[in-house]
Homo-oligomer: A and B are copies of this chain.
């Protein structure tokens, strides 16, 4: 089950950083849905490496080839499979890591899991590169959602001690759609400061993390189910599949833990004849079920563990401590590139919930 998630829609992600290809299969998409490949490519380009001074210089086109599931560009009900060839791999950079696990990476734990047979080149199956096929799946789902009035948009809400503008959590107007190469923040000033913080860390051969905030607008009330099948359960289960995510919170999230009920409860009101809440501290989800307000959540992205500074590690074959210097190409900050991945994952889950909801 490691690399498959979902029920009504099942997304199977496969490939390793340096395997012949990576790809994704999406089973359960509705038939008759057009896939706009240009729009999809624009979305994928937001994640693609090699475009900015804060991203790995590894150049990959990330141009998916659709192998199945389409007739023309229309979904036909059969599983949709897209493949991206790996072309720009330099596996020799990773030889040293087979025996000396990188701090903060999965090398050691996954080595224990797979008895040393795991693919170490470029991070293998746990490489951030595998978020490319996730974005293919999510990009297709976003197009289907958009036709139903639902938009999923994210921004960097904080990075390097700099906070972005707080959006209006009650507005059904979506956040801006960022373009490839654009720094995904609401406030250009905040973006410049964040950018500077990244370059500063880069100059010290270090890295920085950040918090990504995502809003989904246009989501109808009544999706999800109480208890273990709630919208929060399912979004969280999928979001923790994004490498480096270490926390997920909805609405007020951890801040709610410090408030009183009278501060945190959202009063119900009538606006234009519609039932709304006066604020949206609940993040659009109450009792596990959508309330009709925008869904709001944040994910914590830890700083890229691959840094250029020497680090302490252990040589597994000798059980002796050893200084490790990581070579290879790495991002001093992956947060901007994770923004579309968060949107992609949320779109997959929300489309699934929407389709399930139509059957309730």
B237 touches A109 (CB 8 A): no
Which one of B3, B79, B108, B275 contacts A125 once the chains associate, using CB atoms below 8 Å?
B79
In the assembled complex, how far is the CB of residue A91 from the closest CB belonging to chain B, in whole angstroms? 10
A303 cross-chain contacts in B, Cβ below 8 A: 256, 259-261, 263-264
B227 touches A241 (CB 8 A): yes
In the assembled complex, how far is the CB of residue A84 from the closest CB belonging to chain B, in whole angstroms? 10
Stretch at the interface among A37-45, A54-62, A173-181, A277-285: A277-285
Q: Which 9 A-B pairs have CB atoms at the shortest separation, nearest pair first?
A: A106-B287, A359-B359, A247-B249, A267-B312, A78-B125, A112-B222, A2-B225, A77-B114, A207-B261
Distance in angstroms between the alpha carbons of A304 and B319 in the assembled complex: 50
Given contacts A27-B4, A254-B249, contact A67 B312 (CB under 8 A): no
Distance in angstroms between the alpha carbons of A121 and B78 in the assembled complex: 13
Asked if A290 CB lies within 8 Å of chain B CBs, one says yes
Shortest Cβ distance from A208 into B: residue: B260
B4 touches A4 (CB 8 A): yes
A237 touches B246 (CB 8 A): no
| Chain A positions 78-114 with a Cβ under 8 Å from a chain B Cβ | 78-81, 83, 101, 103-110, 112-114
B275 touches A21 (CB 8 A): no
13 interchain pairs, CB-CB under 8 A: A19-B70, A20-B68, A23-B67, A78-B118, A103-B277, A109-B290, A126-B226, A247-B247, A257-B300, A264-B302, A265-B311, A267-B311, A270-B320
A257 touches B301 (CB 8 A): yes
B108 touches A291 (CB 8 A): yes
B261 touches A305 (CB 8 A): yes
| Chain A positions 193-251 with a Cβ under 8 Å from a chain B Cβ | 201, 204, 206-211, 221-230, 232-234, 236-238, 240-241, 243, 245-251
Asked if A63 CB lies within 8 Å of chain B CBs, one says no
In the assembled complex, how far is the CB of residue A134 from the closest CB belonging to chain B, in whole angstroms? 9
Given contacts A206-B262, A319-B273, A359-B358, contact A12 B20 (CB under 8 A): no
A149 cross-chain contacts in B, Cβ below 8 A: none
